[in-house]
Amino acid sequence: MTIQPPRPGEIALPFDPAARGGNAHVVFIGCIRTSWTSRADAPKNPREARERGVTAHIELDEPYRAGLDGLERFSHAIVLYWMHQARRDLIVQSPKHSPVPRGVFGLRSPLRPNPVALAVVRLLSIDAATGRIEIDAIDCLDGTPLLDIKPYLPSVDSVPDATGR
């Protein structure tokens, strides 16, 4: 991956977090299949992906397929995935939509020390035997590694009085 120089106002860490190692051991449990093969073509967020009307699917690796039991009871799920092509050293970014730089933890950008992304997706179909889960939309590149799937629970996951801009 070619690392572009920071934009005005951005601050890069003096090290690459990916090279530091760490104490966590993450296992990818499958991958996400989408229509997007380049970052230039990919939607910027799950909402934009949904507006494009292009479905996607998850391919769950065989050892994890038994974990799908019960997911069919839910209309939506939270998908956690690893933005494997994202830059990891920017701690302050200058997003195109913001007039001022912002800290990475105040953004939903995939550019972060640990490029974990999440999306709430509508479950269209689940084939536990093949590990294929059809979803309404998602904002990642084809082949993005899958970290986890959790059922979306409106009574727990929805926060009606949340704010943000």
pLDDT tier, 1 (very low <50, low <70, confident <90, very high otherwise): low
Q: Is residue 97 part of a domain?
A: yes
80 is a domain residue: yes
- How many structural domains is the chain composed of? 1
Domain that holds residue 118: 32-154
User: Would you call 13 exposed, middle or buried from its count of C-beta atoms within 10 A (0-12, 13-18, 19+)?
Assistant: middle
Sign of CA dihedral 103, 82, 85, 89: positive
For the entire predicted model, the pTM comes to: 0.88
4: closest CA among 85, 82, 105? 85
In a domain, 164, yes or no: no
Alpha-carbon dihedral angle through residues 149, 68, 37, 18, given to the nearest 10 degrees: 40
Residue 23 pLDDT exceeds 90: no
> pLDDT for 101-136, tens place per residue?
999 999 989 999 999 999 999 999 999 999 999 999
In a domain, 53, yes or no: yes
Neighbours of 93 (CB within 10 A): 23
Domain contains 52: yes
CATH assignment at residue 38 = 2.40.30.70
Tokens of 59: 């391919």
